[in-house]
């Protein structure tokens, strides 16, 4: 975290992890200047069925819709290992949030914690997340949406799910 890792350093790290992907369980690259190529390399790593990464933190890394698309695609192809994903303080936009929502609909997805603080989540994204949780209620337990510009009606969509015992959502922050 915050250690000056750039695309070049991320390429070296991804290369090392590709040769031995089964040991690393947690990776925190938050607050580093990662570009699209670095996020793509990490996404390629996540596609590897031998990858056992449980936690990935990319807060304040410059992840955009494009990077979010690569991550979502990787997690759709190998959805069962990652449990925690932190994309806070990135410019994901509506399409990035929709891609993550589509991922959450997959019953093979085991994501339990998702941080999307200050990611540009809108009413559309909130509705997509609520829809995803309704279609696959069994895994996501913590959803952090603080510092997004959400309306009370958006918050209610998700709050209703948190209060319903059929859903596993325990923590919901706006």
Q: Does residue 146 fall inside a structural domain? A: yes
Q: Supply φ then ψ for residue 104, to 5 degrees.
A: -65, -20
Assign 153 a pLDDT band (cuts: 50, 70, 90). confident
Torsion of CA 92, 144, 1, 34, to 10 degrees: -10
Torsion of CA 25, 84, 109, 99, to 10 degrees: -120
Assign 10 a pLDDT band (cuts: 50, 70, 90). confident
SS3 42: helix
Distance from C-alpha of 139 to C-alpha of 104, rounded to nearest angstrom:
9
Q: Whole-number mean pLDDT of the chain?
A: 90
Residues of the domain holding 122: 7-173
Q: Does residue 2 fall inside a structural domain? A: no
Quick one: which of 161, 113, 160 has its CA closest to 137? 161
Q: What is the pTM of this model?
A: 0.94
Q: Does residue 52 fall inside a structural domain? A: yes
Assign 18 a pLDDT band (cuts: 50, 70, 90). confident
Q: State CA 66 to chain mean position distance.
A: 13
- The CATH number for 70's domain is 3.80.10.10
Predicted pLDDT at 37: 87
Report yes or no: 139 and 168 within 8 Å, Cβ to Cβ: yes
Distance from C-alpha of 72 to C-alpha of 68, rounded to nearest angstrom:
6
Q: Does residue 1 fall inside a structural domain? A: no
Does 154 have pLDDT greater than 90?
no
Averaged pLDDT, 52-79: 91
Q: Mind giving me the DSSP string for 54-105?
A: -EEE-TTS---HHHHHHHHHHHHHSTTS--EEE-TTS--HHHHHHHHHHHHH
Distance from C-alpha of 10 to C-alpha of 99, rounded to nearest angstrom:
24
Does 61 have pLDDT greater than 90?
yes
When divided into structural domains, the chain yields a total of: 1
Q: Does residue 18 fall inside a structural domain? A: yes
Does 24 have pLDDT greater than 90?
no
Report yes or no: 140 and 109 within 8 Å, Cβ to Cβ: no
């Amino acid at each position: 975290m915050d250690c000056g890792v750039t695309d070049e350093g991320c390429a070296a790290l991804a290369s090392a992890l590709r040769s031995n992907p089964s040991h690393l369980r947690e990776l925190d690259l938050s607050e580093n200047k990662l570009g699209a190529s670095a996020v793509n390399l990490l996404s390629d790593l996540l596609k590897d069925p031998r990858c056992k990464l449980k936690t990935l933190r990319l807060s304040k890394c410059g992840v955009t819709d494009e990077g979010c698309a690569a991550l979502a695609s990787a997690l759709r192809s190998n959805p069962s290992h990652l449990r925690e994903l932190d994309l806070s303080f990135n410019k994901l936009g509506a399409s990035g949030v929709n891609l993550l929502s589509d991922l959450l609909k997959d019953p093979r997805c085991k994501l339990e914690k998702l941080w999307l603080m200050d990611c540009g989540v809108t009413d559309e994204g909130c509705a997509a997340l609520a829809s995803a949780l309704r279609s696959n209620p069994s895994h996501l337990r913590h959803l952090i949406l603080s510092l997004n510009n959400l309306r009370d009606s958006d918050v209610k969509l998700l709050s209703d799910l948190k209060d319903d015992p059929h859903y596993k959502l325990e923590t919901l922050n706006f």
